[in-house]
Amino acid sequence: MGRKAVSYKVSVTDRPAINKMVREIHHQFGRIDILVNNAAINRGDNFATMTEHSWHTVIDTNVNSLFNVTKPVFKHMLRQRSGHILNISSIGAIRALPTAVHYATSKAAVIGFTKCLSREAAPFGVIVNAIAAGIFDTDLSEALPERMLEMHKFWCSRNRQGQPEELAEFAAFMVSDRNSYMIGEVVTVDGGSVT
């Protein structure tokens, strides 16, 4: 297709490695136009039995990674006065679903991050939005308790998990030049949740 790509295997919790990666990407391509913050983990923990380690692992991966990854990319976008940042949140952040407290808390933080950063970014031509995703057929959904996946069939109008390409199609629009006037929004893509 006449395109060039590079790949890295870096933990979103490793700030020095992220900073190095962003420097190398910027050096190779001269600019960074799109950032999608999509890394997330979940644990099937009840709050009563949740360990401190489990809490910190989820928060570090799902929330602290927003700072680790966005900060160095955002600096380049401010200098070039353009860019799109798309953060992936969850319907678990905005609805009382039977999901783990640490996961819901982390995804609610993504929404706050999106709304506040969007106001700071907009005057510099950087557009920040989020998607509150439902349950999609990914590795993350495989970590969910079976009872939740069964309940999903009842409260999702489509009676199924979403397919990754259904979310990808909308995400591609969100970070495209066609999306020039939506700023600081959290768009729900969840198959018609009825809760």
Can you read off the two tokens belonging to residue 77?
A: 């976008």
The residues facing 133 across adjacent strands are: 90, 189
Q: 10 Å Cβ neighbour count for 173?
A: 12
- C-alpha–C-alpha distance, residues 113 and 119, integer Å: 10
Cβ atoms of residues 110 and 67 within 8 Å: no
181 among known catalytic residues: no
Report H helices in 122-191.
Answer: 139-142, 146-155, 164-174
- Name the E strands within the chain: 34-37, 83-90, 126-133, 186-189
> CA angle, 102 as apex, 135 and 46 as ends, to 5°?
90
Q: Name the residue among 87, 84, 79, 78 with its Cα closest to residue 12.
A: 87
Q: Could you give the CA distance from residue 53 to residue 103 in angstroms, rounded to a whole number?
A: 14
Selected catalytic residue, list 68, 85, 90, 103: 103
> Would you name the residues annotated as active-site residues?
103
